[in-house]
Structure 1
Amino acid sequence: MENTDPMATRPPETLDETVNSDLESLSRQLGEYETKLAEMRETVLRERAELDNQRKRLQRDLEQARRFANEKLLADLLPVLDNLERGLAAEVGDPAALRSGVELTLRELIRVTDANGLKTAGAVGEPFNPEHHQAMSMVESAEHPSGRVAAVMQKGYVLNDRLLRPALVAVTK
């Protein structure tokens, strides 16, 4: 049987040199891979820190948005508040003048709420809508057909197509 191992025919000195050279090459490669691994670990740590910072920033922004969500509405309501305070401070002997001032303030309040997306729900004569109305009673009416709002006991309100409070109504039979 013939020996086919290429190393078997070499002298021992050449064999040691080959092993040493292979060992040095492998050691060099190992060092390069360890350096690359360290760089990758550093990159991963930086990316994690960046994601964590971004998450904290978004959380802080969301908190700020929640805290100041009503800022525009409240700024719009300040003139209404001022008018009410001026009305209370005024010495008015005429009830008609007081009523006129209250009506002006109410119109200003309605203007502000309309501008901020608040609409009323529940007008006499409109069809009964169980999504916007809560029937408190059934009444007979000659002026309205069946299934219509005959009377409104309390107005309902819708904010940007979302019901805030249903209208309390009497419905015709």
Structure 2
Amino acid sequence: MADNEKEQVPGEIDQETDRVDEAAGDNPEICFYPADVEQFMSALNEKSRLLEEMTDRYKRLQADFDNFRRRTRQEKEELSAVVTERVVCELLPVVDNFERATASTPADVDTLATGVQMIFRQLNNALCQLGVEPVSAVGNVFDPGLHEAVMRVEDKSQPDGIIIEELQKGYKVNGRLIRPSMVKVVANS
């Protein structure tokens, strides 16, 4: 080595060129100026800060969503309990009247029949207050959205598709079908 050439140590700043050689002598293309290093470090710090900020926002969003799910589940359970209580409160007087009717067996069957009819009316009134309404069937045209045909009969005196008998009543609650009517339908071939 010549006297005027000094040996460069990797990672050391060359005072004449003001650059850092990462691999002195091995690859002359790999070298960084201190200003570049500062710029890279600044960009890296900014990206790290943004990553931490986004991670924090993600964690907060996840916690908010978990809280929302929990609140929604609680509200559904509370609403279900309120609806059940309402139904039970409407039906309890009917149960009371059935208990009275069965506790006292009248000697007269007509009196018992009258009592049962009164209880049946009371039950229907309670169901009406809850928004329950029967599906009309007999004499109407068969509608697969409201009726379930379980029997087909030939009857030349009736037009095709007319319901002639209701085997089980169908019901709607607030306009929504909860049980279709089971019906006998005219099918003239």
Give TM-score, length-normalised by structure 1: 0.66
Structure with higher helix content: 1
Partner residue of 1:156 out of 146, 162, 169? 169
Query: Where do 5+ consecutive residues of structure 1 fail to align?
Result: 1-10
Which digits, 9 at most, give the CA deviation of each residue in 1:39-84, with x for residues without a partner?
2211112212222332343344445555665443333211111111
Paired residues, number: 158
Match for residue 117 of structure 1? 132
Match for residue 87 of structure 1? 101
Relative distance call for 1:135 and 1:74 in structure 2 (3 A) is same
Distance (whole Å) between structure 2 residues aligned to residue 109 and residue 165 of structure 1: 20
Matched, 1:44 2:47: no
Matched, 1:15 2:15: no
1:109 deviates by 1.3
Alpha-carbon RMSD: 3.6
Match for residue 77 of structure 1? 91
Q: Which has the higher contact order (CA 8 A, sep 6+)?
A: 1
Query: Where do 5+ consecutive residues of structure 2 fail to align?
Result: 1-13, 21-31
Q: SS of the counterpart of 1:127? A: coil
Relative distance call for 1:172 and 1:31 in structure 2 (3 A) is closer
Relative distance call for 1:114 and 1:41 in structure 2 (3 A) is same
Give TM-score, length-normalised by structure 2: 0.62
Which digits, 9 at most, give the CA deviation of each residue in 1:4-53, with x for residues without a partner?
xxxxxxx9457359933443344344323322321221111221222233
Larger radius of gyration: 2
**AA matched with 2:38:** E
Match for residue 4 of structure 1? none
Distance (whole Å) between structure 2 residues aligned to residue 27 and residue 56 of structure 1: 43
